[in-house]
């Protein structure tokens, strides 16, 4: 909450039918640009905004941002993510947002012995079989054993260096997340397709 915006602000074309509510836990500006560049009108909300206030924006989708800190200490964020998931609209999370999505589905997180920092982390997309070169900056991860026990969660991406969980999606809701940073600027740009998938999910929902 210390690195979040103090007040809500908007970006993009207000006439757009693509309306995305962004929960700001330390969001990177280029993440916002990646959504606006794809035609979205976004409203960025402070970290402790309740779901009822988010819904007043009438979003067609929700984005859970990256940010610093231990996700397990953010009970307020986990509750908000649970509430927006119940709405059934598309949800996309990056980094801390990935961990919060896991926690909202009963999957624990842990402090890594060695975090992932910097460029050139190889991540395998288990859906396509392709390897993506990624940018990462996190010291906490999603518990792989807890993921295996979660019947409603599917692992979509795995780190090829240490087999840690890099992406998940829900089987029963239009929600997904990745641990790394697809918006990385400068590059690599291997994972920018994730923003396209989020927009497509909103359009088809």
What 3-state DSSP class applies to 187? coil
* CA–CA gap between residue 111 and residue 131 (Å, rounded): 25
Tokens for 25, please give them: 């836990």
Tell me the residue ranges of DSSP E strands in the chain: 9-11, 19-23, 41-45, 61-64, 91-94, 109-125, 131-142, 153-159, 165-170, 175-178
Catalytic site includes residue 183 = yes
- Active-site residue identified among 33, 34, 181, 197: 181
Q: Which of 89, 74, 70 is nearest to 20 (CA)?
A: 89
Annotation says 131 is catalytic? no
Query: Choosing from 34, 95, 121, 132, which is the catalytic residue?
Result: 95
Angle between helices 193-204 and 29-36 (to 10 degrees): 50
Residue whose C-alpha is closest to residue 101's, from 155, 44, 55: 155
Q: Is 95 a catalytic residue?
A: yes
Angle value at C-alpha 16, between 205 and 79, nearest 5 degrees: 55
Catalytic residue among 98, 132, 157, 183: 183
Give the DSSP H or E segment for 72: none
CA dihedral 190, 141, 36, 126 (to 10 degrees): 40
CA 86 – CA 74 distance, rounded (Å):
19
Give the catalytic positions in this structure: 95, 181, 183
């Amino acid at each position: 909450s210390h690195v979040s915006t103090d007040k809500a602000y908007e970006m993009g074309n207000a006439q757009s039918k693509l309306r995305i509510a962004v929960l700001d836990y330390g969001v990177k500006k280029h993440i916002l640009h990646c959504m606006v560049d794809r035609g979205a009108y976004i409203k960025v909300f402070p970290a402790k905004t309740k779901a009822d206030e988010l819904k007043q924006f009438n979003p067609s989708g929700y984005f859970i941002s990256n940010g610093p800190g231990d996700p397990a200490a953010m009970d307020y964020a986990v509750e908000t993510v649970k509430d927006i998931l119940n709405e059934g609209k598309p949800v996309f999370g990056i980094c801390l947002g990935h961990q919060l999505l896991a926690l909202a589905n009963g999957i624990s997180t842990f402090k890594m012995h060695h975090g992932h920092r910097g460029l050139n982390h190889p991540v395998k997309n288990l859906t396509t079989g392709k390897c993506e070169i990624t940018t990462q900056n996190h010291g906490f991860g999603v518990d792989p054993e807890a993921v295996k026990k979660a019947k409603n969660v599917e692992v979509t991406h795995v780190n090829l260096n240490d087999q840690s969980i890099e992406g998940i999606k829900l089987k029963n809701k239009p929600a997904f997340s990745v641990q790394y940073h697809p918006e990385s600027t400068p590059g690599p740009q291997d994972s920018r397709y994730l923003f396209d998938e989020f927009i497509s999910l909103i359009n088809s929902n």
